[in-house]
């Protein structure tokens, strides 16, 4: 394996909590669940509190596939109405180099 082989988190899991602030508007909460649903993930916890015209939302999973954390976080940041996203994560296991798989033409 060469030093140019990329690092991967495949097979690893992360305990993750996303904390978002967003504009309180109809349709926001289902839009926040969409990045999870399209990856066949179900959050363990989904909490929301309104403060004036803003919402604070916490979404947590105890064992999200680690390679999906940055994808879900990116999708949450792009959601209409979201002002900020913070995440706290703890990856279990070790990170290793992976062999790239290429398809034959």
Each residue's pLDDT tens digit, 4-38:
555 555 568 889 999 999 999 999 999 999 999 99
Domain ranges of the chain: 13-89
Computed over every residue of the chain, the mean pLDDT equals 85
pLDDT at residue 90 in the model = 85
Residue 3 has pLDDT above 70, yes or no: no
pLDDT at residue 1 in the model = 46
Each residue's pLDDT tens digit, 51-100:
999 999 999 999 898 889 999 999 999 999 999 999 998 877 655 555 55
Q: What is the pTM of this model?
A: 0.76
Q: Which residues fall within 8 angstroms of residue 63, CB to CB, at 6 or more apart? A: 13, 14, 15, 92
Q: Which CATH superfamily is domain 13-89 in?
A: ACT domain (3.30.70.260)
Report yes or no: 16 and 87 within 8 Å, Cβ to Cβ. Answer: yes
């Amino acid at each position: 394996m060469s030093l140019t082989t990329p690092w991967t988190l495949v097979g690893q899991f992360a305990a993750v909590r996303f904390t978002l602030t967003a504009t309180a508007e109809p349709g926001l909460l289902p839009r926040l669940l969409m990045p999870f649903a399209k990856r066949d993930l179900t959050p363990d916890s989904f909490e929301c509190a309104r403060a004036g015209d803003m919402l604070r939302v916490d979404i947590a999973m105890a064992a999200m596939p680690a390679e999906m954390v940055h994808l879900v976080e990116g999708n949450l940041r792009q959601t209409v109405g979201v002002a900020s996203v913070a995440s706290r994560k703890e990856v279990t296991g070790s990170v290793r180099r992976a062999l790239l798989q290429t398809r034959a033409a």
